Each structure stands twice: as C-alpha cells, then as structure tokens.
Amino acid sequence: MPGLIRGVARTAAIAGTATAVSNRVSRRQAGRWAAQAEPEPQYAAPPPPPAPAAPAAPDMEAKLAQLAQLGQLRDSGVLSDTEFEVQKNRILTG
C-alpha cells in the first residue's frame, strides 16, 4: 500500500506542476497577443473651432433713431399708443 500512495502522490505533484506551467505559458502568450493587437495610439481630435461671435447688438444711436421714427409715426396718427408701446418695448429689449 505505501508504494501505491507514493505513486499517486508523485503523479499528483507532476500533474499539478504541469498545470501551473501550462497556465503561466498561456497567460504570457495572451499578454503578448493583447499587446500586439492594441491599436496604435491615436492622436486626440483637434478641439472644435471657437463659436462665431454673437452679432453685435445695435448701438444706442440706432435705437434712439428708431424710437424717434416711431414717435413720429405715433404723432402722425399711423400708430396707436398701444402699438407704439409694443414697438418701443421690442426696440429696447431687442
């Protein structure tokens, strides 16, 4: 019986060592293949161009000219007081 146990133990040790070596080789090969399969580093995409500047709001002189013209239209009776107020608010907030 002792000879049989020794034989089984030796076989188990050899099989365990063979499995460990096989796993290590497989991991190393997988690591090499993964390194080869990695794509070349890509350069970062250039940043998008800056957004165009918002159109400049009409300056104060243009607004005053529009308001003066609007006042003349109201005085001549073309615009009612309500229409004048609506258009004046549109010019001042626009």
Q: What is the DSSP string of 21-69?
A: HHHHHHHHHHHHHHHHHSPPPPPPPPPPPPPPPPPPPPPHHHHHHHHHH
Tens digits of per-residue pLDDT, 27-66?
888 888 877 766 656 667 777 777 776 665 557 888 888 8
Nearest-10 Cα torsion for 25, 26, 29, 31: -110
**Can you give the pTM of this predicted structure?**
0.38
At residue 60, the pLDDT reads 81
Q: What is the C-alpha to C-alpha distance for residues 56 and 9, in angstroms, rounded to an integer?
A: 89
Tens digits of per-residue pLDDT, 2-30?
677 777 778 878 878 888 888 888 888 88
Q: Which residue has the higher pLDDT, 21 or 85?
A: 85
